[in-house]
Amino acid sequence: MARRELIDRWRTGNLRTEILRRLADGSSLLDLELSTVEGRLDLRGFPAGGLDSQAPTIAGVDLQYATLARAHLEDVNFRDCRFDGADLTRAVFTDGSIAESTMVRATLQEAILARTTWQSVDLTGAKMKKFSAERTHFAGCTFPALPKAEFAGCTIEDSVFTGALIETRFLGRAHDSAVLRRVTFQSDEAKYPEFDGVDFDEVTFPPGDNLIVVPRNFKDVAERAGRLSSGRDDQAGKDLRRFLSHESLRPGLRATAGWATARHVLVDGYPSGAELADLAVTMLRRAAEDIDAVR
């Protein structure tokens, strides 16, 4: 069936009301007259906008093109579900999980996650502007471009970021833990990304200097880089020390945390521009090498 047909079929009959009730309270869907698609219950195109669901397990359901916009999903555990092309705009996920599922080309704009677990979730092509996650564990996930998305106090493991980072924020300050572990960033398209107080563990960034990266111990590396540049009394040297002081002295930075910024943040934001960016790359690399040598 075409997308329009999948959606329109739910406009008549009493089945929709019963499905909504069961999705909300966790009752089984298996005894309803639902067909299957590739082994999953067929809820393609199902309208569940604003659904308020608490504590059910929803497994083996095809929700392609479904509407879950503004849904409140508290302690809901999804497994082996298909959300491809679904609308999850402003959906709120708390304390639950999504595992072994796909959200290819889904819409998750302004979706909010808190204390959830997402494992083996394919988000290829998803729309995720202003997506927000706090204290969430991601493992084995594939992420698209992330305009203005935020990950605060999150652990992200064995995952790939395939698209541009446009004002994307990875925040660790004021959180007990924020870790990127065995993570790969494939795109060097970055506009004001922020990696602030996050531990890097086997993180791969794209080659080149579009992103300036300190993989660990940023606070010590910044202090060392400032000392190494002390002989530079020109504008670039002064701007570098001012910038590093600002970045490293804000409260809540853990000693082990890494750090990264886009090169153009320095080029566009300081009088010395490209010269400052080149100096930052050189001094930070040298400082990181010095610190690694004595540890």
Radius of gyration of the chain (CA): 23
Nearest to 86 by CA among 58, 101, 106: 106
Give the model's pLDDT for residue 189. 87
Given a cut of 70, whether residue 3 has pLDDT beyond it is: yes
pLDDT of res. 254? 79
Sign of the four-CA dihedral 12, 13, 15, 18: positive
CB 47: neighbour CB atoms within 10 A? 18
- For residue 51, list its beta bridge partners: none
| pLDDT at residue 125 in the model | 97
Interatomic CA distance for residues 36 and 43, integer angstroms:
9
Overall domain count for the chain: 1
* CB 97 within 8 Å of CB 115: no
> In whole angstroms, how far apart are CA 243 and each of 34, 64, 224?
60, 47, 13
Q: Determine the Cα angle at 90 with ends 179 and 10, to 5°.
A: 125
Q: Provide the 8-state DSSP code for 180.
A: E
| Two structure tokens written together for 161 | 């970021």
In this predicted structure, what is the pLDDT of residue 250? 74
Q: Read off the pTM.
A: 0.89
Q: Quote the pLDDT of residue 172.
A: 86
Phi then psi for residue 192, to 5 deg, are 50, 50
How does pLDDT run across 182-195, given as a tens digit for each residue?
Answer: 999 999 888 888 88
Residue located via tokens 């572990």:
181
pLDDT of residue 295: 65
Rounded Cα–Cα distance for residues 256 and 74 (Å): 33
Lookup: tokens for 286:
């040298």
Would you state the structure tokens that stand for residue 282, as one six-digit string?
Answer: 């050189």
How far, CA to CA in Å, does 161 sit from each of 165, 182, 185? 9, 11, 5
Distance of CA 231 to the CA centre of its chain: 40
- Domain range for 192: 3-294
Which range, of 28-42, 79-93, 142-156, 164-178, averages the lowest pLDDT?
Answer: 164-178
